[in-house]
Chain A
Amino acid sequence: MAISLQKGQNVSLSKQAPGIKKARFGLGWDLRKTDGNAYDLDASAFVLDASGKVLSDQHFVFYNNVQDPSGAVLHKGDNRTGEGEGDDEVIEIELSRMTPNAAKVAFVVTIHDAEARKQNFGQVQNAYIRALNVDGEQEIARYDLSEDASIETAMIFGELYRNNEEWKFKAIGQGYAGGLAAVARDYGVSLG
């Protein structure tokens, strides 16, 4: 039975799924029911050090850079419309192969071309992030974003972080103005 997280709560993946090797993070949202430009939502993972900055620009894992240098963090591809069963975007992490100085991975969803399409998270419904043990395909925890989003164009869904020897997953649900570029800059990514 998966644990349902509230905003700010965390769960120990290592304790809930002893011996977990590879974790999958599935992110989803409702397909647009109305007409007009579809929502193209992108998930990104930022591999961060203890001070909350990316280890390097290559540790910003997104649709144009689907792996971090270690290969432990893998973006499984972009779903352009949110169509289809199951998660809209998937990021898998091999916990044992994670760079030792990686303290945290932030999962961020941004709206592609939000400005031009006049879209924001106020229009997106039923967003969630869930953590699974790839071995056995077992869902460990799920967080249904409860925030009443407004004009934010980026949203930190959750974080994976080290706590001594264990890996924990935390429900964040924090909105952000300025889209992917602003988030990336705040995490210390140098953008061209």
Chain B
Amino acid sequence: MDLQPGQNFSISKHSPSPVAVEIALNWEPANTPLTIDANAFALTGSAKVRDDGDFIFYNQPTLSGGGIQRAGDGRLFTVRFAQLPAAIEKIAVALTIDQGQRRGQSFGQLNQVRADIRDAQTQAVLATFPLATKMMAETALIVGELYRRNGEWKFRALGQGFVGGLAPLARQYGVDVADDPDIAQAAPPAAAPSPAIPAAVPPPPAKPIRLEKLTLEKKGSSISLEKKGQGFEELVINLKWNQGGSGGKGFFGRLTNRKIDLDLGCLFKLRDGRAGAVQALGDSFGSLQQPPYIQLMGDDRTGASAAGEFLRINGRQWEQLDRIVVFALIYEGAPNWAETDAVVTIQTPGQPTLEIRIDSHRNDQRMCALAMLENQGGNIKVTKLVEYFLDHRFLDQAYGFGLRWVAGSKD
């Protein structure tokens, strides 16, 4: 069943009645220069969140209790009806373009956005909502909403644009957003005159939610992800790049019919001194449950996966790790880093998303060290590297892993 904007259907009336649904989001072209984020808002009857915990996005991928889970780089939301708090009557799902206002982007740069609503258990598709977006000038898009109605769960296709992007959209749903990373840099406000008599100290306000992705701008800049309570959950390192072949306009148009294949990998050193590499070369995919507690998720040489490549790190075992250097490799073809427009994100629940863009390009070298992750007293210190090397040996030497290298091939 194809839905049109405004149309609703009953999920509960499907036989068998789904206990959980998946909302899978896709867009065309999949390979787009837009950075698209998916968000869900768990809302009460008055169409507002109860608190900031009801806003599910890249920095907060689950609703407490597990009723909503964001996965697959945000392309998949799983909603388990029985695990939703009784106060939640509606879940709005929206896509937003990161930095879209600032970069002058919009959903009009896509042809279509599609949502598939599936029974999470049987994987049966209950309905599909294809939405033509060509005419849309907005940077936020409310795709649809799940809602309770007379004891049943329904889905309504919306496809409504929202000007201003994620921050205004989140505010509209009642989320206390700290700052908007997507507004043009305003002139600094004039210094406020200091009051002669200190005012009574106001109670500290509830901490507003942070929308920003922390971008490590400069080489050598670093940030520490602090261990809290139980320690870290899984860290997901994603490398995305412009894979070419889309024949788009402007800058990327030159890439027509030329695919760039980047490989993501890392060198690691454990606390016990063992060191090695996790990479597609030599099928060293690693393991999450065994040392090195790092795993490379597939290796998509076809470039068909617009989601790029992923390295996962078992955060629960972070204590066992000493340091990791994450790298990218241009496996085939002339190294042209500028055209890859590559970006690395590091995500882990409860922490801001870190973003590192590959800049200061060197086109004579096919390997680029992206980031160093170091265990500092149990915390994770992430440092932007973006240093180029001819091959593994030079990279290894530069960072002192002391590995022995022989030529390898993936074929």
List A residues at the B interface (Cβ < 8 Å): 33-36, 118-123, 148-151
Contacts and interface: CB of A to CB of B under 8 A. Distances in A.
A148 B149 contact: yes
A120 B4 CA distance: 10
A118 B4 contact: yes
16 contacts: A34-B142, A34-B162, A35-B160, A35-B161, A35-B162, A118-B5, A119-B5, A119-B6, A120-B6, A121-B6, A122-B156, A122-B157, A123-B5, A148-B154, A150-B6, A150-B156
Contacts of A150: 6-8, 156
A122 B160 contact: no
Interface string B118-139: 0000000000000000001110
A36 B5 CA distance: 13
Contact of A34 (B7, B156, B161): B161
A148 B148 CA distance: 11
Nearest to A152: B6
**In the complex, the 9 A-B pairs of residues with the closest C-beta atoms, listed nearest first:** A122-B6, A34-B160, A120-B6, A123-B6, A35-B161, A151-B7, A35-B163, A150-B8, A150-B7
A4 to B, nearest CB: 17
Chain A interface helix/strand/loop/mixed: loop
Interface string B161-188: 1110000000010000000000000000
A36 B160 contact: yes
Interface centre among B6, B8, B157 (most CB of A within 10 A): B6
A122 B147 CA distance: 13
Contacts of B7: 120, 122, 150-151
Contacts of A149: 6
Contacts of A151: 4, 6-7
Interface of B: 4-8, 136-138, 142, 149, 154, 156-158, 160-163, 172
A150 B155 CA distance: 10
B6 A36 contact: no
Contacts of B156: 122, 150
Contacts, number: 47
Contacts of A35: 137-138, 160-163
B175 to A, nearest CB: 15
Given A33-B172, A34-B142, A148 B8 contact: yes
A118 B149 CA distance: 24
A31 to B, nearest CB: 13
A91 to B, nearest CB: 26
Given A35-B163, A121-B6, 8 more contacts: A34-B161, A36-B161, A118-B6, A122-B5, A122-B156, A148-B8, A148-B154, A151-B4
Nearest to B152: A148
A122 B6 CA distance: 4
Contacts of A121: 6
A34 B145 CA distance: 14
Nearest to A117: B5
A123 B8 CA distance: 10
B83 to A, nearest CB: 24
Nearest to B9: A150
A121 B156 CA distance: 12
Contacts of B136: 36
Contacts of B161: 34-36
A155 to B, nearest CB: 12
A123 B138 contact: no
A123 B137 CA distance: 19
Given A35-B161, A36-B160, A148-B149, A122 B8 contact: yes
A123 B3 CA distance: 13
A38 to B, nearest CB: 12
Contacts of A148: 8, 149, 154
A42 to B, nearest CB: 17
A79 to B, nearest CB: 21
B28 to A, nearest CB: 19
Contacts of B163: 35
Interface centre among A33, A35, A119, A149 (most CB of B within 10 A): A35
Contacts of B5: 118-120, 122-123
B396 to A, nearest CB: 52
A36 B2 CA distance: 22
Contacts of B157: 122
Interface centre among A120, A121, A123 (most CB of B within 10 A): A123
Nearest to B156: A122
Nearest to A148: B149
Nearest to A36: B161
B11 to A, nearest CB: 13
